[in-house]
Structure 1
Amino acid sequence: MTRPFELELYGQVCPVPLMKTKKMAENLKSGDQLIIKSDFTRSVRNIADWAEKNNFRVSISEGKNGSWEIEITKN
């Protein structure tokens, strides 16, 4: 298994987190995992919706102090 890619998007609001996620996801190969860290709730939902529609497996976990971690894995 390859090491997961990470994208920290703290302090960034829509549409920037989704745009950066899409850009980074372009380079993922099947089985690759991208971990996105954000503190903007709306971006979490937007990223998860986009990922599901584009055939990624999605897992969301809520961290401390309003932070979120979204794990997407390319199928």
Structure 2
Amino acid sequence: MKRIDCLGDICPIPILNLQKELESIHNGNEVTLVTDHSCTLQSVNDFCAMHNLKYTADEVISGVWEIIITN
């Protein structure tokens, strides 16, 4: 599983980093994106809808989310 650390990054950086892993996700790999920017949740939702992907999000500590993206 690939882990993308986007702590401190604001949009669109997390989505640009996720875009780089799109082929890997479509090949069945999971990607975990870690962010502390709440707007990223909506951006990931939109990205996943556009690319027919699934995701789960968990606020692991206050203000920090782990988002797991799968095919």
Unaligned runs of 5+ in 2: none
Would the aligned equivalents of 1:52 and 1:58 in 2 still touch at CA under 8 Å?
no
Over aligned residue pairs, what C-alpha RMSD do you find?
A: 1.4
The answer as to whether partners of 2:25 and 2:69 remain within 8 angstroms in 1 is: no
Which whole-Å CA distance do the structure 2 matches of 1:30 and 1:55 have between them?
13
Letter matched to residue 66 of structure 2: E
Where does structure 1 lack aligned partners over 5 or more consecutive residues?
none
Q: What residue in structure 2 maps to residue 17 of structure 1? A: 14
- CA offset at residue 29 of structure 1? 4.0
TM-score by length of 1: 0.82
Tell me by how many angstroms 1:12 deviates.
0.3
In 1: Cα distance, 2:41 partner to 2:5 partner: 12
Verify: 1:52 aligned to 2:19, yes or no. no
Q: 2:5 aligns with which of 5, 8, 14?
A: 8
User: Alpha-carbon deviation of 1:40?
Assistant: 0.2
Task: Tell me the secondary structure at the aligned position of residue 15 of structure 2.
Answer: helix
Deviation at 1:69, TM superposition (A): 0.9
Identity between Structure 1 and Structure 2 (%): 24
